Amino acid sequence: MLEAPDRSAPPGVAVPLIDLQAQLTTIRTAIDEAVSDVIDSQRFVLGAPVEEFEARIAALVGTAHAIGCASGTDALLLPLRLLAPEDSGRVIVPAFTFFATAGAVHNAGLTPVFCDVDEATFNVTPESLERAWTDDTLGLIPVHLFGQMAPMEPIMEMARERGAWVLEDAAQAIGASQSGVGAAGSVGIAGSFSFFPTKNLGAFGDAGMITTNDGDLARRLQEFRVHGGLQMYHHDVVGTNSRIDALQAAVLLAKLPFLDGWYRARRSHAARYLEALGDVDGVELPATLPGNDHVYNQFTVRVRDRDGLRAHLSDNRIGSGIYYPVPLHLQPCFRHLGYREGDLPVSEALSSSVLSLPVVPELDEEQIDAVIFRIREYYGTP
């Protein structure tokens, strides 16, 4: 049982949703040394830091290969280009997630088919995938949203039975795992990770990683990211330019030893919210699937009168975020696919009610208690 927060007086501390400056102060020496080494070497594209970071991520995820690329979006797009070279077919993606998941499918020449999600975990389910299945479904992209893995065992079974591939969107879930299944990014044909600065493991700009146990796919990805040729000026295929910079790899390597501690802090903050907000009428807490090791890239709740609560928090110097205000099937750019309001009711309801609370590792108990106090105050719960 966690110690209950002191609700006798309103805390007056500021609580940012994200505070990269606070993180930097705790790791500045390691970062400066890592960046300085790359600058001194004057080798900025691929090279030793990238190779070491790829090896470390492969070991962390539990795959034979990890291939660095320019962004989390490219970490989806590159394997899609190779898994579906005919540039046709349908790929099922959740409607409630970041745009890049569906955007990469479209930019690979494929058609995104949107499915609904579970209202408690925010992730796809076998049932929601089943409802979206068509005869020309090539693959599935389950998203491990907010740091929790989707139920991969039945998803993989469904895909195997129907001859489809599974590409895991693990952009928010590095380090997450599922009992009896493995780590995020190790289960499907490939896993895609983002190191956008605000991720649990964030670069100083864009960077991404693809993980796989398929040696042939790994070789093709390594080739594809350098214009389709592993030997300079010799191109076996028409590829693209999507390489992780040595500077970004060095930054991420410097941050990697801190990751476990950051996870522990995020889980501690989440546990405090779960303990203190469970009796608040107007707040629905997220669920964690049994056997899941959640890494809380976000701590997201469903709330009544979201705009009012968000304004109340802001007035009291507490940050919050909305991930995501418009489900993908209702985005104007996908209007031609024919979806209408009401088609995916859970995703639509979530988009109008979710709110993400501060959960970054650098927050202290007083700050978490301030968030709890203001939420309870807004809903009239003493």
pLDDT in tens, 255-276: 999 999 999 999 999 999 999 9
- Average pLDDT in the 137-141 region? 97
In a domain, 17, yes or no: no
In a domain, 2, yes or no: no
The verdict on 245 and 135 lying in the same domain is: yes
Domains identified in the chain, total number? 2
- Average pLDDT in the 205-234 region? 95
Q: pLDDT tens digit string along 23-82?
A: 999 999 999 999 999 999 999 999 999 999 999 999 999 999 999 999 999 999 999 999
Task: Domain of residue 209: give its range.
Answer: 25-256
- Average pLDDT in the 274-298 region? 97
- Tell me how crowded residue 142 is: count the other CB atoms within 10 A of its CB: 32
What is the residue type of 178?
Q
- Tell me how crowded residue 318 is: count the other CB atoms within 10 A of its CB: 23
The verdict on 287 and 228 lying in the same domain is: no
The verdict on 238 and 363 lying in the same domain is: no
- Tell me how crowded residue 25 is: count the other CB atoms within 10 A of its CB: 9
The predicted pLDDT at position 88 comes to 78
The verdict on 73 and 218 lying in the same domain is: yes
C-alpha 232/C-alpha 229 separation (Å) is 6
Torsion of CA 55, 57, 61, 62, to 10 degrees: 10
The predicted pLDDT at position 133 comes to 95
In a domain, 291, yes or no: yes
The verdict on 193 and 294 lying in the same domain is: no
The verdict on 130 and 274 lying in the same domain is: no
The verdict on 252 and 322 lying in the same domain is: no
The verdict on 243 and 268 lying in the same domain is: no
- Average pLDDT in the 356-375 region? 97
C-alpha 310/C-alpha 312 separation (Å) is 5
> Is residue 198 pLDDT above 90, yes or no?
yes
φ, ψ at 19 (rounded to 5°): -145, 85
Q: How confident is the model at residue 117 (pLDDT cuts 50, 70, 90)?
A: very high
The predicted pLDDT at position 6 comes to 55
- Average pLDDT in the 236-256 region? 96
Beta-carbon contacts of residue 319 (< 8 Å; ≥ 6 apart): 15, 16, 17, 18, 313, 358
The predicted pLDDT at position 160 comes to 96
In a domain, 1, yes or no: no
Q: pLDDT tens digit string along 307-339?
A: 999 999 999 999 999 999 999 999 999 999 999
**Whether 65 contacts 58, CB under 8 Å:** yes
Percent above pLDDT 90 for the chain: 93
Beta strands (DSSP E) in the chain are 65-69, 90-94, 111-115, 137-140, 165-169, 177-178, 182-183, 190-194, 208-212, 283-284, 292-293, 299-303, 354-357
Token pair, residue 299, equals 């701590």
Q: What's the pTM?
A: 0.95
**Whether 140 contacts 113, CB under 8 Å:** no
Token pair 């058609």: residue: 111
Q: Which of 256, 273, 293 is the last residue of a domain?
A: 256
In a domain, 90, yes or no: yes
The verdict on 244 and 316 lying in the same domain is: no
> Is residue 1 pLDDT above 80, yes or no?
no
Token pair 């470390």: residue: 56
The verdict on 147 and 252 lying in the same domain is: yes
- Tell me how crowded residue 51 is: count the other CB atoms within 10 A of its CB: 14
The predicted pLDDT at position 12 comes to 78
The verdict on 51 and 79 lying in the same domain is: yes
The verdict on 236 and 345 lying in the same domain is: no
**Whether 309 contacts 280, CB under 8 Å:** no
| 107, containing H or E segment | helix 100-107
